[in-house]
């Protein structure tokens, strides 16, 4: 396995790094307070291609490999995990279209993303989180298509998405056999935005309920066959988990950098805090843990790029370890900074709040451990 960065990858990573350092990090605390990305920054992200990084070359995108995407999402995570989540949601919504969509659906979806429109992946419901088979949003067959009725919750990009990949059940009895995927549009009659979440972390990303009230979706907007939804959802999450791991590594890296800078500036008892042995031990542990998580994420991305049969299990490992690491490292960063780290004037406490959701969304780490345990072979 060769994890070295080639010249093309370096050029792309350097571009995103510049955007992160010049445009995202200086706005991170303000975005955390306001709960949204400023329009001017969103335009920068769109025009630079950051919101469309996962679009394949065949549909006008950059055609980046998963290994390159992992590096880019780590940089975005280092800048602001909320911004990274907004961009990653476009990629997440694209996977069902890539897996089972028609050529017409792919062209329509990716043309929309490339033009700067946002997308959302709508699977979660009030009664269906880890248990995708419990989806109760109904898709009732009618002349020319389906009528969707139900509520989705905790949907990233919900309030700003133009296209929504929504999972609904075509069987009255529910269960995974009826789970089906549809490509909905926010302009469709019967669709509305529900409660907008006031979240603990990743506050720059807009998250909301989506309400479908007999919302008509044409039959040509069904992605794949009826009943294919569960398989499509699982394949999608296998693709996306390594990205969550990459964003988590970015959070850990940002927290480590903040702790090191603080420890070399702050003085107690007449000497720099960085000279204290216990602080040195904390920083050493943070550095080792971050590098270990980075290596596992890079391996997961490399295996996914090579279409290795075990890439799904490796992605679960990467997501689980990296998000646990982000939580641990960011918490330690707050500890290194003491009272200053606990203040909202400092980004350390933001990193800690952002890190928590990495252990929860796109499959809780408890679910990841089940996936890993069931997938380990000897």
Angle, vertex CA 59, rays to CA 58 and CA 65, nearest 5:
60
Q: Are the beta carbons of 295 and 285 closer than 8 angstroms?
A: no
Phi/psi for 215 (5° steps) reads -75, 120
> Please, which residues bridge with residue 217 across strands?
146
Question: Among 250, 57, 226, 264, which Cα is nearest to 145's?
Answer: 226
DSSP string, 272-309: EGGGSHHHHHHHHHHHHHHHHHHHHHHHHHHHHHTT-T
Task: Identify the helix (H) or strand (E) that includes residue 325.
Answer: helix 311-337
Half-sphere exposure (Cβ direction) of 364: Cα atoms closer than 13 Å: 8
Bridge partners (DSSP) of residue 164 are 120, 184
Across-strand partners of 180? Answer: 168
Distance, CA of 114 to CA of 19 (rounded, Å)? 18
> Which is nearest to 93 in space by CA: 157, 177, 168?
157
Active site residues: 362
């Amino acid at each position: 396995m060769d994890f070295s960065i080639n010249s093309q990858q370096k050029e792309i990573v350097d571009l995103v790094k510049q955007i992160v350092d010049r445009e995202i990090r200086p706005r991170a605390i303000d975005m955390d307070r306001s709960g949204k990305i400023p329009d001017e920054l969103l335009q920068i992200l769109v025009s630079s291609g950051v919101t469309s990084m996962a679009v394949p070359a065949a549909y006008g995108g950059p055609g980046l490999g998963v290994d390159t995407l992992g590096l880019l999402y780590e940089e975005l995570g280092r800048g602001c995990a909320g911004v990274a989540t907004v961009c990653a949601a476009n990629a997440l919504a694209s996977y069902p279209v890539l897996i089972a969509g028609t050529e017409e659906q792919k062209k329509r979806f990716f043309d929309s993303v490339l033009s700067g429109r946002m997308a959302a992946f709508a699977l979660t419901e009030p009664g269906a989180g880890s248990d995708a088979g419990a989806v109760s949003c109904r898709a009732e067959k009618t002349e020319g298509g389906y009528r969707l009725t139900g509520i989705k919750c905790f949907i990233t990009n919900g309030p700003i998405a133009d296209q929504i990949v929504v999972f609904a059940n075509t069987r009255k009895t529910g269960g995974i056999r009826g789970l089906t995927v549809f490509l909905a549009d926010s302009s469709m009659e019967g669709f509305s935005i529900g409660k907008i979440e006031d979240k603990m972390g990743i506050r720059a990303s807009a998250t909301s309920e989506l309400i479908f009230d007999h919302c008509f979706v044409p039959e040509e907007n069904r992605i794949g066959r009826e009943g294919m939804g569960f398989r499509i959802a699982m394949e999608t999450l296998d693709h996306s988990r390594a990205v969550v791991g990459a964003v988590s590594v970015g959070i850990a890296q940002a927290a480590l950098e903040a702790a090191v800078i603080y420890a070399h500036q702050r003085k107690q008892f007449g000497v720099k805090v960085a000279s204290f042995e216990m602080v040195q031990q904390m920083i050493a542990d943070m550095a080792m843990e971050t590098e270990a998580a980075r290596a596992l994420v890079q391996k997961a991305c490399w295996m996914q790029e090579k279409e290795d049969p075990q890439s799904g299990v490796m992605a679960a490992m990467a997501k689980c370890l990296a998000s646990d690491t982000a939580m641990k490292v960011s918490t330690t960063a707050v500890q290194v900074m003491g009272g200053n780290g606990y203040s909202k004037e400092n980004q350390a406490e933001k990193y800690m709040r952002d890190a928590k959701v990495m252990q929860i969304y796109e499959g809780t780490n408890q679910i990841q451990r089940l996936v890993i345990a069931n997938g380990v072979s000897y």
